[in-house]
Amino acid sequence: MELYANDTKAHDEARQGEAFDSTSPKKHFNKFFYVESYGCAMNFADSEVVASILENNGYGSTRQAEEADLILVNTCSVREKAEQTVRKRLTEFRKLKHIKPGLLVGILGCMAERLKSQLLEEEKLVDIVVGPDAYRTLPDLIAEAGTGQKAVNVILSRDETYGDIAPVRLDSNGISGFVSIMRGCNNMCSFCVVPFTRGRERSRDAFSIVAECRDLFDKGYKEITLLGQNVDSYYWNNPETNVSVTFAQLLESVAQIGPSLRVRFSTSHPKDITDEVLFTMAKYPNICKYIHLPVQSGSTRMLQLMNRTYTREWYLSKVARIKEIMPECSISADIIAGFCTETEEDYQDTISIMKEANYDYSYMYFYSERPGTLAAKRYQDDIPEEVKKRRLQEIVDVQWVLSNESNKKDVGKTFEILIEGNSKKSADEWMGRNSQNKVIVFPKGDHGFKKGDYVNVLVKDFTKGTLLGTVSK
């Protein structure tokens, strides 16, 4: 559908020029910042917003921490291991402060929200603590920290979306870009800390999203991933016209920017992905046929304890509906082993749902209790770690078989691949992904292709996680 026709299209174009001016001259910077990002794609997208704010306040980016006047770590609190990794890096940066007086170290994101006082006072690892909704205040916090004070802002917002800020693309390949469409989450899954660290769900205005996507396309980007904790619940009401925009309508508007612009999105909550979204995906060839559909557990009892709001049977019916509308669609999942009170029967339900859903690949973890979550308050983390690890390994083994079978079925097929760059193993090979989000590697040869080109590739073989092919004749 034409979401922004007639007078609203003019408003869209005005917003594009205002928020995403790509003609500004390069600035000369006397101060530099270094940022490391951990966790989900939303964190990496947030770091690009932070980079924009800092550049507008006199800071240039550097890839070397030793060169920086300001070091920022954008953090994740979803799993304990991620927090341990961040603590180790902060300890290393604290040593750097002794070598470079005046260096400021700050922590951003979910871990900042959760552990603010501990990081500032007990461990004295950082000078600045900034929550996900307070990045606009960074310049003031930096100035405050520069006087020797500890600077903190972790106030959550009900309306902050950073929709008017043009992100600075950090470490970009110039081909694929992330665009955040919403923030926060209203799904109170009992195991998840996100609602407490990122706040309530709110959707960014559709004009700024489409403008940012169009600007990336005009700059030569060929693929955009729309990001949100739960993209399918995107819902924005235009205050000027009182017209509402759903995720399916937004998805269609981005797809209409150009047929050579690939569109992806992540993540979907099973309860919110609609037939409207699925039919929109099927309608547009440039919307990639891939859905990340976290299941977490195959046991209805576990799903109820997790507060996932669906049953095993309902989830499998959603998978069937996806395959009915888009038989070629690839599906992946998140899976947790060893959640509170999980029995062997519950665990076997997870094994069986994996086989029934026939996931192309999965992201698999054993349960890590996060302080402050509903599960931490209500349930006992009573599954021994050795049991968690054993179940997780068996889940990994099952997924390997499923992925192997999925890749085997692709041998002999030809896919359109977007070249993202050299393969990791050889500069003589290109690497790209197909619509189903599978990585395909193929020899460069003398075809004259370049990064960002679309190429038809015939799959000849495969490894554990990669399809191997040749340019189709």
pLDDT in tens, 382-414: 999 999 999 999 999 999 999 999 999 999 999
Low-confidence winner among 108-112, 142-146, 271-275, 333-337 (lowest mean pLDDT): 108-112
Question: Do 132 and 223 sit in the same domain of this protein?
Answer: no
Whether 55 shows a pLDDT value over 60: the answer reads yes
- Is the pLDDT at 154 greater than 60? The verdict is yes
CB 324 within 8 A of CB 471: no
pLDDT of residue 86: 86
Average pLDDT over residues 166-195: 91
Whether residue 371 is predicted with pLDDT greater than 50 in this model: the reply is: yes
Is the pLDDT confidence value at 344 over 70?
yes
Q: With respect to residue 17, please indicate whether it lies within any of the assigned structural domains.
A: no
* pLDDT reported for residue 22: 33
Q: Does the structure show a pLDDT above 60 at 25?
A: no
Do 221 and 138 fall into the same domain?
A: no
Residue 164 included in any domain: no
Q: Which of 30-34, 86-90, 221-225, 273-277 has the lowest mean pLDDT?
A: 86-90
Tell me how far CA of residue 212 lies from CA of 168, 202, 205, 353, in angstroms: 12, 18, 11, 38
Q: Are residues 402 and 420 in the same domain?
A: no
Residue 9 lies in a domain: no
Considering the entire predicted model, what is its pTM?
Answer: 0.87
Decide if 295 is inside a domain: yes
The band of 155, judged by pLDDT with boundaries at 50, 70 and 90, is confident
- Look at 20-29, 143-152, 252-261 and tell me which has the smallest mean pLDDT: 20-29
Q: Residue 10: inside a domain, yes or no?
A: no
Mean of pLDDT over the chain? 90
Confidence of residue 195 (pLDDT cuts 50, 70, 90): confident
pLDDT band at 7 (very low <50, low <70, confident <90, very high): very low
Instruction: State whether 183 and 319 are in the same domain.
Output: yes
Domain that holds residue 430: 411-471
Q: What is the mean pLDDT of residues 65-74?
A: 94
User: What percentage of the chain has pLDDT greater than the value 90?
Assistant: 76
Considering the domain architecture, whether residues 113 and 216 belong to the same structural domain is answered as no
Tell me: do 69 and 205 sit in the same domain: no
Residue 148 in this model has a pLDDT that exceeds 70: yes
> Using CA atoms, how far apart are residues 436 and 348, in angstroms rounded to an integer?
28
Residue 224 in domain: yes
Q: Is 70 exceeded by the pLDDT of residue 417?
A: yes
pLDDT grade, residue 272 (50/70/90)? very high
Which of 11-20, 82-91, 269-278 shows the lowest mean pLDDT across its residues?
11-20
Rounded CA-CA distance 191/198 in Å is 15
416 and 404 fall within a common domain:
no
| pLDDT tens digits, one per residue of 430-453 | 999 999 999 999 999 999 999 999
Better-predicted residue by pLDDT, 196 or 273: 273
Residue 61 lies in a domain: yes
Q: 200 — phi, psi (to 5°)? A: -75, 160
Kindly report the CATH number assigned to the domain that includes residue 53: 3.40.50.12160
- The DSSP string of 363-393 is EEEE----TTSHHHHHS---S-HHHHHHHHH
- Region 1-19 average pLDDT: 31
Residue 352 confidence (pLDDT) above 80? yes
Q: Which of 358, 386, 409 is the last residue of a domain?
A: 409
**For 191-237, where are the alpha helices, taking DSSP H only?**
194-198, 206-218
The answer to whether residues 218 and 256 belong to one domain is yes
Looking at the 3D structure of the chain, how many domains does it have?
3
212 and 360 in a single domain? The answer is yes
Nearest CA to 265 out of 233, 217, 295, 232 is that of 232
Contact between residue 268 and residue 293 where contact means Cβ atoms under 8 Å apart: yes
Q: Is 222 helix (H, G, I), strand (E, B) or coil?
A: coil
Residues 417, 400 within the same domain: no
* pLDDT at residue 85 is higher than 90: no
Residue with more model confidence, 124 or 33 = 33
Are the CB atoms for 447 and 453 separated by under 8 Å?
no
What is the arithmetic mean of pLDDT over 51-70?
94
The pair of structure tokens assigned to 23 is: 């003609």
In this structure, which long-range contacts are made by residues 403-410, counting pairs with CB atoms below 8 Å and at least 24 apart in sequence?
Answer: 403/359, 403/360, 403/361, 403/464, 403/465, 404/462, 404/464, 406/330, 406/358, 406/360, 406/361, 407/438, 407/462, 407/467, 408/462, 410/438, 410/459, 410/462, 410/467
Residues 291 and 397 in one domain: yes
Q: Mean pLDDT, to the nearest integer, of 265-272? A: 94
What is the rounded distance in angstroms from the CA atom of residue 146 to the CA atom of residue 252?
A: 47
| Residue 133 sits in the same domain as residue 85 | yes
Last residue of a domain, one of 101, 121, 153: 153
Angle at 383 between CA 379 and CA 386, to 5 degrees: 155
Lowest mean pLDDT among 187-201, 276-290, 444-458: 187-201
Q: What DSSP designation does 24 have?
A: P
> Are 216 and 168 within 8 A, CB to CB?
no
Q: What is the CATH number of the domain that holds 207?
A: 3.80.30.20
27 — pLDDT class (breaks 50, 70, 90): low
pLDDT of res. 87: 86
